[in-house]
Structure formats: structure tokens, C-alpha cells
Amino acid sequence: MTERANKVALINMPFSSASRPALGISLLQAGLRRAGIECDLHYLNLNFAARIGVDDYNHVAYGLIEEALAGEWVFRDELFGPASGESANYLKDILLEKFPKHFPFSVVLGLLKMREAAAGYLEECLEAQDWSQYGIVGFTTTFQQNLASLALAKKSKRAIRRF
């Protein structure tokens, strides 16, 4: 097995807790290391929290109702491209009409700022590491974290192909 193929990166993306480690990837790292496989953890969720502000980050991670999946919406366009059809109405139909108590104007403005920051954040994540050194890259995945993980996976796959 080559050195690259034997090296693993495990990534924790937004909107995972900014104050607690991800137990799953920590345990997986320990198991891989016991098996002699080099494994690095990358808590990239902390980079996004720093970029947008910890209070705003925590508001999405803990304060908003999960059924709205606002954290997923923040990274939606980075994975799928600009919204069209019914998905373009998410802000109005879901946030403002279905959950108006949870999404006052100030919260919606914060979410819009997060969406604007998403592309730059993902590029920063790509540039922060030499991802080509890894044979396997894995992501934590839970509510409000899936689209951020998939968007970075898609972009990193393209970046690695360039090497």
C-alpha cells in the first residue's frame, strides 16, 4: 500500500458543535492509528464559526429548529448551483411562512450573510491543506452538516484530480 493510500483525513464540517469534539471521528482515528494507519482530523467547522462569528454559528447549530434545516440551506447552492423552481422559494415558504417565530428578520439576514460566506469558506478549506496526500477522505455527517460536507467533498475531488 502506498503512503498516500494509507493516509486518511476525517473532516468535521458546519454546523457541528463548535464547543465539543466529534466523538465518531475521534474514535475512528484512534482505531485507525491502532491498526497502523495514519489519520488526521480536520475540524473545519471551527473555521466557519470564526468566519461568521461564533454567536451566529451557534444560533444555527443549536438555536434554530432542526426541521427548517437552515444550516443545509446555507451550503445548498455550493453543492447544487443556483436554486430554481420550488427550491428557490425556501426562504419565503419555509423560513418566513412555516417557522416565522424562529426566523425573525435579523436571523434571516444572518443566514443570508452565511450563504455569501460559504463559497469563500469552502475555497479556504481547499487551500488550507494538501488534500492529495490522502488516499481516503471521510466526513462527519448529521443534520445541518450534510450539504457542507458534500460540497467540500465535490470540490476537493475536483481539486485532487488536478494534481
What are the residue boundaries of the structural domains of the chain, listed by start? Answer: 7-161
Instruction: List all residues 6 or more positions away from 96 whose beta carbon is below 8 Å from its beta carbon.
Output: 103, 108
Q: In what order do the strands lie in the sheet with 7-12?
A: 38-43, 7-12, 136-139
Q: Which three cell numbers stand for residue 87?
A: 427550491
Residues listed for the chain: 163
Distance CA 93, CA 100 (A): 10
Contact 24, 34 (CB under 8 A): no
- 85 pLDDT above the threshold of 90: no
Contact 143, 35 (CB under 8 A): no
Mean pLDDT of 110-132: 94
Contact 49, 14 (CB under 8 A): yes
The answer to which of 3-12, 13-22, 68-77, 154-163 has the lowest mean pLDDT is 154-163
Q: What is the mean pLDDT of the chain?
A: 89
Q: Which three cell numbers stand for residue 14?
A: 458546519
Instruction: List all residues 6 or more positions away from 42 whose beta carbon is below 8 Å from its beta carbon.
Output: 9, 10, 11, 12, 129
DSSP letter for 98, please.
Answer: I
Mean pLDDT of 139-161: 87
